[in-house]
Chains A and B, each alone.
Chain A
Amino acid sequence: SYELTQPPSVSVSPGQTARITCSGDVLPKKYAYWYQQKSGQAPVLVMYEDSKRPSGIPERFSGSSSGTMATLTISGAQVEDEADYYCYSTDSSGNHKGVFGGGTKLTVL
């Protein structure tokens, strides 16, 4: 099995830059995906294939990956960005498994 590790929480003031990290041995070989989940709602894709932003996601969201760490960056975080963020990636050994990180609670206040 393999794991993705995220910090449990990140806190910033409005307008500051929030960085959420995701570490895992599979990340040099597989893409990271990021999902935002607001309270009581289904998750929403905010970044795919490490650094691609889906249509409709604000430009303040960006992604990167280097070595065993992927990072979701929110430049100029807004109050409405407060949510849980999950990274996701996939097994690289043909076992056909996906895995999520434990999630990071982003607080913007």
Chain B
Amino acid sequence: EVQLVESGGGLVQPGRSLRLSCTASGFTFDDYAMHWVRQAPGKGLEWVSGISWKSDNVGYADSVKGRFTISRDNAKNSLYLQMNSLRAEDTAFYYCAKDFDPGDDFWNFPGGFDVWGQGTLVTVSS
């Protein structure tokens, strides 16, 4: 069974940092690009960041560029999101999602996602 499990969420003060992790199982992790998507309470979905299987194609939403860094460790079947300089507006459920494709094609990255984790809640508040 394909499964994605996020961890690392919690309560953090504005301006501080937090690192989210996503552990994958049930598929060959390094065959696929991966993404982070977030959803503020009561709001819609927002794509945050994506990374190709080789980490050579990476993208960020304008709202997080320069503050968040996506990375992956294929040997550990794990995806990460380092979040720095956190703001109240970063409060959200953060979902890990698996792409349909490896993400090699520069002009066709990112793709869509076929599997989602259950999410981890990040609350930024003093």
B114 within 8 A of A: yes
Given contacts A42-B95, A42-B117, contact A35 B45 (CB under 8 A): yes
Contact partners of A95 in chain B: CB under 8 A: 59
Binary B-proximity of A64-102 (CB < 8 A = 1, otherwise 0): 000000000000000000001010101110111111111
Of the listed stretches B13-21, B23-31, B76-84, B105-113, chain A binds: B105-113
- Interface size bracket, A side: 20 to 34
Complex CA gap A103/B47 in Å reads 13
Given contacts A96-B110, A100-B45, contact A48 B59 (CB under 8 A): no
Contact partners of B58 in chain A: CB under 8 A: 96
B44 touches A103 (CB 8 A): yes
B102 within 8 A of A: no
Mark out the residues of chain B between 89 and 126 whose CB falls within 8 Å of any chain A CB in the assembled complex.
95, 100, 106-119
* Chain A residues in the interface with B (C-beta under 8 A): 1, 31, 33, 35, 37, 42-45, 48-49, 54, 84, 86, 88, 90-92, 94-103
* Chain B residues in the interface with A (C-beta under 8 A): 35, 37, 44-47, 50, 57-62, 95, 100, 106-119
**14 other A-B residue contacts (CB within 8 Å) besides A48-B112, A98-B35:** A35-B45, A43-B45, A44-B116, A45-B115, A48-B114, A88-B47, A88-B113, A90-B108, A90-B112, A96-B50, A97-B47, A98-B110, A101-B44, A103-B45
